[in-house]
Structure 1
Amino acid sequence: MTTSMGDVWPGIIEDVRLYPSPHNSQPIKLRALNDTTAEVYYDLDLGLPAESFGIPFGHVCAGVFLHALAVVAAGHGFRTIEALDHSDLDFDAAERLHVLGTVTLESQHQDAEARAGHADFLARRTSRRPYDNTLVDPSTVEEAARIAASAGFRFRTTSDARIVQDLVRINQETLFDDLQNDAVYGEIMHWLRFSKSEAAERQDGLSAETMLMPGGILRFAMKHRGLWQLPIVGPAIRGVYLRTMRGVRQLGWLEGPFAAPADYIEAGRTFLRLWLHFTRAGVYLHPFGTVITNPGSHDLFVRALGITEGDGDMAWMLFRFGHSKTPPLAHRRPAARMLLPATEDA
């Protein structure tokens, strides 16, 4: 049985599949209910349950997708109307497709801002390249803070060289710490793509090319994680990783409500709004997700910046941002692999 999404959906799905997701796992799926309404699912088999915040960041990913869908739809002349289910993800559930809700498309005027937002989304990339050691224009940072505040979050930054260096080091050490956790290590290995051909064939995951690591070295280092603890080999591997972090002048983070699925989804929307704002300004960013999800690193992060958490409030995103050369383009699965077969009722 083939999925029919009328004349409206094909172009939208072709574009929205470029949304960013943790480990480039692309867990969001769609099923057409009719020509203008689709049910949205989170594929639990494509989630990251080994992380301590695997469930919250599943919903953050959903929020990123929903905002991406709204931006892309606007670029095609539609607005999205959502009816969401805010139930918790359960990675042990027998039913592997978790219903997030439905989205309906409604025609609207396609204005210049909608077209510009669509173009920003298509241009957006993660840059793990070295940055050029320049500060982002203050007006760009101020607008990012306004965008976050309009959604009830706080966007803050630091360009203090010592703090930036310390947090870059914490991010690097978090990777090595996570590799000692067998479940997290297995998850990372599942999503790593060590060659261009493997990345092109699988069309998902973390490719060595986008991580700016030689595939052979990365494969050897990851398959022999015990070597990372040795006096000479360990620092050498760390040095290869840190070379991609040269020129980082600023870090940004987001704080605010982060206690329930509705919070997580709104957090994801807000993060993508900021990302697209930076894209329009010619600024790249690179999330330091493991610093947030690793409990020890998260504690070091909040103490380094004097962040107060509690009562459902959390610093839930940290990233470097700045200027770099154009990064490699990560592969995405074809649109057809986002689509689920229509039901008999549909």
Structure 2
Amino acid sequence: MEKLSRRNFIKNTSAGLLSVAILNPIGKLFASNKKEIIPTWNELIDFARWCPTVHNLQPHLVKIVSETEAELYYDPSRLLPVGDSQSIFATVAMGIFVENLTIASGIYNKKIVIHEIQKPINANATTITLFAKLKIEKCDVIEKLSRDLILKRKTSRLHYDGNPISNNTLHKLKSQTEEFDHEFFSTSDLNFIKSIIEMNQQTLFEDLESELIRDELDKLFRYNKEEAETKKDGLWAKCMGFSGSLMKSVFTNHEKWTKGIRKSLLSHNYKNSFKGTSTVCWFGGDFENTDHWLRAGRMFARNWLLLTQENAYLQPFGSLITNENAYKQINEKFTQPTNNKKIWMIFRAGYSNEPSRSFRLSTDEIIIK
């Protein structure tokens, strides 16, 4: 019995070793192929081009250098010399774009790393300018966000349904924010939210008093579908929730809307567009230089997709940050971040019908040949 058992053991062991010897090279081959798959820049850009940018201007351009290297440029004609003179939020948008590239590459266990930043974005530049160098690298962390969320994400300026963002979702946002050393705040106090909406409306009228701001915005608005579809950028009236003719009149015949019943109607319509808002959120973080702005953008990109994952939408209150008087007021009213960090983004979040999608530049238009 003992000899028979030993003989069977040797026989079985030999067979097992033979199987390993035969199959292991194949296993290694498949494992090797999986590790070596590198996404194309075209594929990644085809996703990332749907990311949000300031006023949907899409200043990013990419020059492919090699399979794993690329250069990130900006088009100064797609910047805001008046509304964003230091290109702070254009830089935040660059961070959002790069983080969307990373999320799109996650299924390959890859990430996009900024290796070199040339100079801060200059709103007064006259030619397409190199901003940073990018590289596809291996990522040791499993990507938790599906890249399909990039295609699903939209800004909603519609009426929200009155339901606040759930505590579970707020907790996810807070945790994600802290991973980037930022702080997250939110409120569902309806009286406080009402005061924010009123402040936002007042800020709009104050901004529209500036001829320079009006002229800059007028060039960005797409008052009809044909114009929006042709230019594939800017603020399409349909996505803004107002008729194109009304918006065009406000910008080209501004004096008619500065007093009397027209001003009251415009004010009422604008405030009414925020109906159903039950959650307002804001971020605080280091916000002094290009590195800070890029990091803020990367964080915002992920939080926006987290909301999308929960079938929720957001709408930034950009003017509350960029308008000097409004920013002074929010620093008096809002809970402040610690350690001299700054509030740099305020937005409403909630649930609405599916909003319209803005047009985007094609992948070929973003890639520099």
Q: Same fold (TM over 0.5)?
A: yes
Residue 221 of structure 1 aligns with which residue?
250
Residue 335 of structure 1 aligns with which residue?
363
Q: Displacement of 1:75 after TM fit? A: 3.7
Say which of 114, 126, 131 aligns to 1:100: 131
Q: For 1:215-294, what aligned pairs fall within 5 Å after superposition?
A: 215-294=244-323
Contact 1:67–1:272 (8 Å) recurs in 2: yes
- For 1:90, give the aligned amino acid: N
CA distance 1:217–1:36, change in 2 (3 Å): same
Say which of 73, 78, 85 aligns to 1:41: 73
Find the residue that maps to 1:232 and give its secondary structure: helix
Q: Displacement of 1:338 after TM fit? A: 0.6
Q: Displacement of 1:217 after TM fit? A: 1.6
Aligned CA-pair RMSD? 2.1
- For 2:197, give the aligned amino acid: V
Residue 160 of structure 1 aligns with which residue?
189
Is 2:221 aligned against 1:192? yes
2-structure distance, mates of 1:295, 1:75: 43
2-structure distance, mates of 1:38, 1:205: 26
Q: Displacement of 1:69 after TM fit? A: 0.9
- For 1:283, give the aligned amino acid: A
- For 2:131, give the aligned amino acid: L
Q: Displacement of 1:306 after TM fit? A: 4.4
Task: Compare CA radii of gyration and give the structure with the larger one.
Answer: 2
The gaps in structure 2 that reach 5 residues or longer are: 1-37
Considering fraction of residues, name the structure with more helix: 2
CA distance 1:129–1:174, change in 2 (3 Å): same
Find the residue that maps to 2:260 and give its secondary structure: coil
Say which of 66, 74, 78 aligns to 2:98: 66
Find the residue that maps to 1:40 and give its secondary structure: strand
Contact 1:51–1:294 (8 Å) recurs in 2: no
CA-to-aligned-CA distance 1:243-298 (integer Å, 9 cap, x gap)? 22100011000011001110011011111111011111111101111110011111
1-structure distance, mates of 2:94, 2:245: 34
- For 1:340, give the aligned amino acid: I
- For 2:45, give the aligned amino acid: I
2-structure distance, mates of 1:255, 1:338: 31
The one of the two structures with greater contact order (alpha-carbon pairs below 8 A, sep at least 6) is 1
2-structure distance, mates of 1:108, 1:122: 22
315-324 or 53-62, which deviates more: 53-62
Find the residue that maps to 1:88 and give its secondary structure: coil
- For 1:183, give the aligned amino acid: L
Find the residue that maps to 2:347 and give its secondary structure: strand
- For 2:350, give the aligned amino acid: G
2-structure distance, mates of 1:119, 1:76: 14
Q: Displacement of 1:308 after TM fit? A: 6.6
317-326 or 67-76, which deviates more: 67-76
- For 1:174, give the aligned amino acid: T
2-structure distance, mates of 1:241, 1:101: 39
Residue 22 of structure 2 aligns with which residue?
none
Say which of 39, 45, 56 aligns to 1:13: 45
- For 2:226, give the aligned amino acid: S
The gaps in structure 1 that reach 5 residues or longer are: 1-5, 342-346
CA-to-aligned-CA distance 1:24-57 (integer Å, 9 cap, x gap)? 0000000111232110012222111212564211
Residue 344 of structure 1 aligns with which residue?
none
Is 2:324 aligned against 1:295? yes
Q: Displacement of 1:150 after TM fit? A: 1.4
CA distance 1:103–1:167, change in 2 (3 Å): same
Q: Displacement of 1:176 after TM fit? A: 1.6
CA distance 1:45–1:310, change in 2 (3 Å): farther
CA-to-aligned-CA distance 1:203-239 (integer Å, 9 cap, x gap)? 1100110011111122112211112221211011122
Q: What is the aligned residue count?
A: 332
84-93 or 37-46, which deviates more: 84-93
2-structure distance, mates of 1:273, 1:314: 19
- State the TM-score, normalized to the length of structure 2: 0.85
Find the residue that maps to 1:151 and give its secondary structure: coil
Find the residue that maps to 1:117 and give its secondary structure: coil
